[in-house]
Structure 1
Amino acid sequence: MIIDLPDTSTRAINGRLVKARDEGGAVALGRVLTLIIDLGGHDPEESIEAANDASREHPCRIIVLADQPGHRAASLDAQIRLGGDAGASEVIVLRSAGALRSHSDTLVIPLLLPDAPIVVWWPYDVPDDPGAHPLGAMAQRRITDSVNTTAPSKALRHLAEVYSEGDSDLAWTRTTLWRGLIAATLDQAPFEPVERALVSGESKHPSVDLMAAWLAEALDCPVDVERIPGAPAITQVRLDRKAGPIILDRPDGKTAALIQPGQPEHRIALPIRQLRECLSEELRRLDPDEVYGEVLRTGLAKVQS
């Protein structure tokens, strides 16, 4: 069900939500958090679709902030999506114009679920300081996505300078499966130290930088980065040890080959992670990701830009 509310107010939106609850049951029951999506001038549909999919694991109220194109006067249009149009959530799309654009926090405060954690997600533009942003300051978790910025590596290094507990980036989440496989492989004999590492991947993809930074921080060894224009994100991780190299190679973005000394080659399904998977993973934890913080602040400085 989709309810359009042109030229409205947050009070009217809340009133319509109460009416929908009375008509169709307790819509807000079972919601575990409020997810705020700050889109600016970008199209909201891809982000809403990913959030709806994630809401099946994490039922939530989704508040979407988007600009009204071509409007100058202060105004607010809203849309409420419920039922099949909202996954396991309820979606409130707020399109603001004029002076209201700079008061996003006052727009969302009346719509927050009481006593529920708040997560803010910026799918495109990274704020100057997520923790000091009016929306970020009220949230337990702040999620950015440096992949979608014009200069991803520069955005990552800026995020390292302004990092505060609760920050995270989906470029880090996209490395989860790689990190798990590498950690599991190093947990096996011969338990030799890694003397040098190499991460290969798309020349501008920030996951390549974060993977290299994680290895540099965790293994305390030199890490080289091979940047390949047009490659599918991370394509290979190579760890050099005395007994021979460990190589995790995924040239096609779908299946990886794990090559180790004295063992047959293993083929592993390792597809590029979808947006909804990464968002679902981030919503599973509302405490600070301490490993990400260490990698961003310390490990990234050990990797050449």
Structure 2
Amino acid sequence: MIITLTDTTSSQVASRLVVVREEGGVVALGRVLTLVVLARGRENVERAIAVTNVASREHPSRVIVINTGECGDDDGLDAEIRVGGDAGASEVVVLHPRGAAVADQDTLVTPLLLPDTPIVAFWVGATPGNPSAEPVGRMAQRRITDLISAITDTESSHAARESFAALARNYRPGDTDLSWARITTWRALIAAELDLTHTDLTSIDVHGAPDRPSMYLLGGWLRSRLGVPVHVHESSRIHITELALNFADGPVRFLRPEGSSVATIRRPGQPDQRTNLPPRTDTDCLMEELRRLDADETYASALAHAVRSL
């Protein structure tokens, strides 16, 4: 069910939400957090809602989506309340601020926050260079960016790297980017390989797109954990397609062609081994990041080392 409110206020939206819950027999006691999504434009609003609806099955939340991409000339606020099948296991409030209201994001969401629950901020379609300095970012215990969603088709790889460098420069405990969760399966695969008996590791090569932070984060994680040279090689592919662990007796290579969900592990003098390594969805990544609300020190270390490859 979708209820549309025009020329309203956040307090009026909150009051209407209480009425809707009471009429539907729904309580907010099972909500574990308030997820505030800042999405640029209606396309990103709907994309964010689709992702959070699925993620809410694991993390029941109150989701507040602010459309930051359609300012308008007059000051005001339109809103939608989505419950039931249109909101997954959450209740979703969509705010469409106009004019000066766009800048007052913290004021907009305050009447709608669940009491005594953590606040998580999630940016879709635009990534601030300093998330913790943003109005909603200052309120949140956890700040999740999605740099890939902010990269346009016309944006250069240099601009993408500059945005990534800004996130590293302005990092504060509680920050993370979905690119970190996108390489979780890669990190698990590499860790399993390093548990096997090998000669000394001398260096590592990573191949991926120059405008994708996942490649740099993976390189930064390896450099921070293993203390060996990590060489990042730019390619025209979207995802990480190849990684080589260079041991004294020869390289162990992980190959995943673009568009494939299967990786080939190639070891010296052994038959090739195939293993599942599908690209992760935005929903998978968001659910993973919502499982922890404290500072991710491993991500912080990987981020600090990753910028050395830019």
Range of TM-score over shorter length: over 0.9
1:216–1:222 contact (8 Å) kept in structure 2: yes
State TM-score, norm by structure 2.
0.93
- Name the counterpart of 1:87: 88
CA shift, 1:262, in A, is 4.7
Q: Would you say 1:102 and 2:103 are equivalent positions?
A: yes
CA shift, 1:124, in A, is 2.0
Q: Would you say 1:189 and 2:211 are equivalent positions?
A: no
Code of the residue aligned with 1:206 in structure 2: it is P
- Which stretch has the larger CA shift, 201-210 or 283-292? 201-210
Code of the residue aligned with 2:234 in structure 1: it is R
Q: Would you say 1:136 and 2:130 are equivalent positions?
A: no
- Name the counterpart of 1:2: 2
- Name the counterpart of 1:272: 279
How far apart, CA to CA, are the structure 2 residues paired with 1:47 and 1:183?
Answer: 32
- Which stretch has the larger CA shift, 281-290 or 249-258? 249-258
- Name the counterpart of 1:179: 187
Report sequence identity in percent.
Answer: 47
CA shift, 1:42, in A, is 5.1
* Regions of 4+ moved over 4 Å: none
1:31–1:61 contact (8 Å) kept in structure 2: yes
- Name the counterpart of 2:128: 127
How does 1:229-268 map onto structure 2 within 5 Å?
A: 229=236, 231-253=237-259, 254-268=261-275
CA shift, 1:68, in A, is 6.8
State TM-score, norm by structure 1.
0.95
- Name the counterpart of 2:301: 294
- Name the counterpart of 2:64: 63
1:143–1:168 contact (8 Å) kept in structure 2: yes
SS at match of 1:195: strand
How far apart, CA to CA, are the structure 2 residues paired with 1:263 and 1:142?
Answer: 44
CA shift, 1:85, in A, is 0.4
- Name the counterpart of 2:290: 283
Q: Would you say 1:224 and 2:231 are equivalent positions?
A: yes
- Which stretch has the larger CA shift, 256-265 or 171-180? 256-265
How far apart, CA to CA, are the structure 2 residues paired with 1:80 and 1:121?
Answer: 19
- Which stretch has the larger CA shift, 155-164 or 67-76? 67-76
SS at match of 2:278: coil
Task: Go from structure 1 to structure 2 and tell me whether the alpha carbon gap of 1:42 and 1:223 turns closer, same or farther (over 3 Å shift).
Answer: farther
CA shift, 1:70, in A, is 6.4
1:153–1:209 contact (8 Å) kept in structure 2: no
CA shift, 1:41, in A, is 3.4
Unpaired runs of at least 5, structure 2: none
2:79–2:96 contact (8 Å) kept in structure 1: yes
| C-alpha distance after superposition, 1:114-142 (max 9, x if no partner) | 00001000112111311111111111100
Q: RMSD over aligned Cα, in angstroms? A: 1.4
2:73–2:98 contact (8 Å) kept in structure 1: yes
What number of residue pairs does the alignment pair up? 301
Task: Go from structure 1 to structure 2 and tell me whether the alpha carbon gap of 1:69 and 1:126 turns closer, same or farther (over 3 Å shift).
Answer: closer
Code of the residue aligned with 1:261 in structure 2: it is P
Code of the residue aligned with 2:251 in structure 1: it is P
1:216–1:302 contact (8 Å) kept in structure 2: no
Q: Would you say 1:15 and 2:10 are equivalent positions?
A: no
- Which stretch has the larger CA shift, 261-270 or 141-150? 261-270
